[in-house]
Structure 1
Amino acid sequence: MSKHSYPLDRTAYLLVDPYNDFLSEGGLIYPHIEPIANQVGLLDNLRALDRSVRSIGLPVFIVPHRRWEAGDYEDWAHPSPTQCKIMHGHHFARGEWGGEWHPDFAPREGDTVVSEHWGSSGFANTDLDFRLKQKGITHVIIVGLLANTCIESTARYATELGYHVTLVRDATAAFKAEMMHAAHELNGPTFAHAILTTSELIATLEAH
């Protein structure tokens, strides 16, 4: 069990980018994460976490990436490499299956769906910080995709804003094992307050 404590009235569960393109067979990006997703048991771990956090009443925040639309980024002065890939690959396209929620992780009544982030951070240019503060949240658990991009960027930003940040090493995935290693062994320890496994986190939460 983790030595960290999670006040249930001040802790939120942040699920980043639960789109079909990332998490479903046939998704545009899923083949690139599938080996690591299978290795860590990503989908089963996300399902287990979803059951656990809902059973104890933690607020669930869906933190979605911008759904691609025709014209996005094309006249930007400085689109990032990732934004260029989205533009050319039409990832998470609005109105298409790939840009819909994975059926197991779609928002439910009472969940908060924050405004879509254009880059990697779920906080930058969105209402995430405002809406967390309106619920008195001080602790955030951040899961989803990808470990070394949106998860890391969102978690770093959360730390800068003063939140207690938890990463879950087997509730995320990346394109390469080296990226997972960097996210959890090299970079994560410089900003995250806790880096746990799914089973460790569930045991800690359900002990409260």
Structure 2
Amino acid sequence: MDGTVHAWRIEVREYERHEQRRGRRFAFTRFEPARTALVVIDMVPFFVSGNPYCRGIVPNISRIADALRAAGATVAWVLPGARPCTPVDDEFHGPEAADRYRASGGTGPLAGRLWPDFAVGPEDLLVEKFAASAFFPGRCALPALLNERGVDTVLITGTVTNVCCESSARDASTLGLRVIMVADANAARCDRDHNATLHTIYRSFGDVRPTADVLAMIEA
């Protein structure tokens, strides 16, 4: 099946709310590539193969990754880690579903677990996360690795928009990072779920920009 792109939107009233507060639509009008990281969440076959919205964002993620590498930025690929299921996992998901999610990241070298259309650069980061969020303390090496590189801005992409991507964006903001969620480089199961997260992030945690805007910011 071909990829599908979300019909994403931010309501005009939300744009107007921030324009009245801070005098501009977007909080972050520029970023320094050397201090910026593209964070790609959970783009593995378990999630991508069955969701046309996930396949639809692959080209945009790749375009951003290529442009950022050329500008000297960091690209970080975050995969689900196989943490042991807890009784709460079994109770919430059911034992069979809990086991499927536990194994969702696959096995073997991390680069080989990604959706095969992606190309991993030699300086890219590859990490596992053991929680929904890639920025939850103690559950992923990513925050420390980005700190070592002096990163202060993260571009959140991947899947699922309203679960691991939203969780990561919220926690990154809590840690004091500048957060930009790329509207057409995240994927959920439906437009409603996707747009609910974009609304929440733009309202309270960071900016929401399309790929074209991000590429223009890199070139600037």
Residue matched to 1:134: 148
CA-atom RMSD, angstroms? 2.5
Match of 1:163 among 169, 177, 182: 177
- Taking structure 1 as the reference length, the TM-score comes to 0.80
Residue matched to 1:77: 87
Structure 1: stretches of 5+ with no match in the other structure:
24-29
- Judged with a 3 Å threshold, the aligned counterparts in structure 2 of structure 1 residues 204 and 65 are, in CA distance, closer, same or farther, namely same
**Residue 18 (1) aligns with residue 43 (2):** yes
CA distance in 2, matches of 1:154, 1:86: 21
CA distance in 2, matches of 1:204, 1:188: 20
CA distance in 1, matches of 2:62, 2:212: 12
Residue matched to 1:26: none
Report percent identity of matched pairs.
Answer: 26
Residue matched to 1:46: 61
CA distance in 2, matches of 1:155, 1:191: 11
Q: Which moved more, 1:193-202 or 1:157-166?
A: 193-202
| Structure 1 residue ranges, 4+ long, deviating more than 3 angstroms after superposition | 80-84
Match of 2:160 among 146, 168, 178: 146
One-letter amino acid of the structure 1 residue matched with residue 46 of structure 2: D
One-letter amino acid of the structure 2 residue matched with residue 77 of structure 1: P
Preserved contact between residue 83 and residue 119 of structure 1 (Cα < 8 Å): no
Preserved contact between residue 18 and residue 105 of structure 1 (Cα < 8 Å): no
Residue matched to 1:93: 106
Match of 1:58 among 73, 81, 88: 73
- Taking structure 2 as the reference length, the TM-score comes to 0.76
One-letter amino acid of the structure 2 residue matched with residue 12 of structure 1: A
CA distance in 2, matches of 1:83, 1:93: 20
- Judged with a 3 Å threshold, the aligned counterparts in structure 2 of structure 1 residues 88 and 37 are, in CA distance, closer, same or farther, namely closer
Structure 2: stretches of 5+ with no match in the other structure:
1-25
CA distance in 2, matches of 1:108, 1:176: 31
Offset from partner CA, 1:75-131 (integer Å, 9 cap, x none): x132274696341464333249xx8212232532111112x2222101221121111
Question: Residues 194-205 of structure 1: matches in 2 within 5 Å?
Answer: 194-205=207-218
Preserved contact between residue 17 and residue 64 of structure 1 (Cα < 8 Å): yes
One-letter amino acid of the structure 2 residue matched with residue 157 of structure 1: D
- Equivalenced residues, count: 188
